[in-house]
Amino acid sequence: MSTSSRRSFLQQAAASVGLVLSASTVATLVAGCEQDESQPTSPGKTYDVSLAAFPELNTVGSIIQTTIAGVNNGEMVFISRIDAQTFVVFSTVCTHSGCGVGLPIDAASNCVCPCHKAEFARSNGAVLRQPTSGSATDLPRFSSTYNASSNVLTITV
Ligand code: FES
């Protein structure tokens, strides 16, 4: 979108909600838009994980813990299989005080931190139960894509 069309768009958008923007405000907003476009986002580093090494992940709903060099500062991650084509990768490091969150004890359970009993969803690390004191946030997730033909999960950090 050109600078003039951005300016026009912003002025029309502001007018539609009853705002009057000064020329300097519009210039600042346009500059902000241009800045976003001129700064390409970092593509991140990618790490390929052959899932042939983890036959337990052949089952939808399964979850493992493993260490992948370069991912999660060397700490373990969970790899959770959501469906035939989708995996979710998230940290095992508890966001409460840093203990290692454990694997679910069975197929119907979630991931529980042994230190203060915070519970996280086995499907994506979302907090389901807060610790006995204080609070935890969702376990950090890592972007991943799965290539079914090669059985390789590519994690981007
Ligand atoms: S460190 Fe995990 S609940 Fe406290």
The 10s digit of each residue's pLDDT in 86-112 is: 999 999 999 999 999 999 999 999 999
What pLDDT, on a 0 to 100 scale, did the predictor assign at position 35?
Answer: 46
Pocket of ligand 1 (CB under 6 A): 94, 96-99, 113, 115-116, 118, 131, 136
Structure tokens at 42: 């970092």
What pLDDT, on a 0 to 100 scale, did the predictor assign at position 16?
Answer: 46
What pLDDT, on a 0 to 100 scale, did the predictor assign at position 54?
Answer: 98
Low-confidence ranges of the chain (pLDDT < 50): 1-11, 13-38
Q: How far is the CA of 79 from the centre of ligand 1 (A)?
A: 20
Residue 11, classed as helix, strand or coil, is helix
**Backbone φ and ψ of 133, nearest 5°:** -145, 155
CATH 2.40.290.10 for domain 46-156: no
Closest CA to ligand 1's atom 1: 97
What pLDDT, on a 0 to 100 scale, did the predictor assign at position 41?
Answer: 58
Q: How far is the CA of 59 from the centre of ligand 1 (A)?
A: 29
Domain spans of the chain, in order of start: 3-38, 46-156
- Select from 75, 101, 113 the residue to mutate for testing ligand 1; criterion: most ligand atoms less than 8 Å from CB: 113
What's the rounded Cα separation, in Å, for the pair 74 and 97?
17
In 60-122, which ranges are E strands? 63-66, 77-81, 87-91, 111-112, 119-120
* The model's pTM: 0.74
Closest CA to ligand 1's atom 4: 116
